[in-house]
Amino acid sequence: MEAFEYLSVLISIVLGLGITHLLMGFGRWVEARGEFQAFGPSLAWAGFLLLVHIETWWTMFGYTQHQDWTFLEFVILLLQPMVLFLLTLMVFPSGDARRQDLKDNFFHQRPWFFGLFVGLLTVSIVKDLVLDGALPEAVNLAFHGVFLAAAITGIALQNERGHRLLAYSVLVVFLVYTGLLFFEL
């Protein structure tokens, strides 16, 4: 077994936990849709996070050729799925769906959610610096800048209409980002 095959098991578990939490949140929403207080931006962010989890797993394949892993390199690589998992906990609360109001949850969790989003972007750039010895390529770095601006806006923004626009816009931008940079392995 190659080193990355071994290391990727833990990465896959953490990503799987995040995907499971998101799918369970969507499932609770569908199951209790009559009593569940849905909120469009929360559902958009949940969809975004599901796509980010899948894209993260997809891009991890690029590290199969990396040799001579150090503990620091592995921790940096593992931080991205860990922060993603924490983000999933912010967007869909655990517990009885019949008592959930995603709008209240969203505005309660907003500073932490967008703070973790900033952390996720930071980890992504640091990961490239540590593992590849360079910043991400220019287009990738530019998209990181767009997402960073969105995260900072999300921290500052307090009105519902603005958060609707932000969530839907980031989802569309992420689809463009993924299509341009990660369409093929």
- 70-93 tens-digit pLDDT: 999 999 999 999 999 999 999 987
- Lookup: tokens for 9: 């098991």
Boundaries of domain holding 173? 3-181
**pLDDT beyond 80 at 32:** no
Count of structural domains, the chain: 1
What does the angle CA 94 – CA 17 – CA 121 come to, to the nearest 5 degrees? 95
Q: H helices of 32-159, where?
A: 40-60, 71-91, 102-132, 138-156
Q: Report CA 115 to chain centroid distance, whole Å.
A: 12
Of the given ranges (23-27, 57-61, 116-120, 179-183), which has the lowest mean pLDDT? 179-183
What confidence category does residue 96 fall into, taking pLDDT thresholds of 50, 70 and 90?
low
Contact present, 77 and 7 (Cβ < 8 Å)? yes
Q: What is the pLDDT of residue 1?
A: 66
Q: What is the pLDDT of residue 77?
A: 95
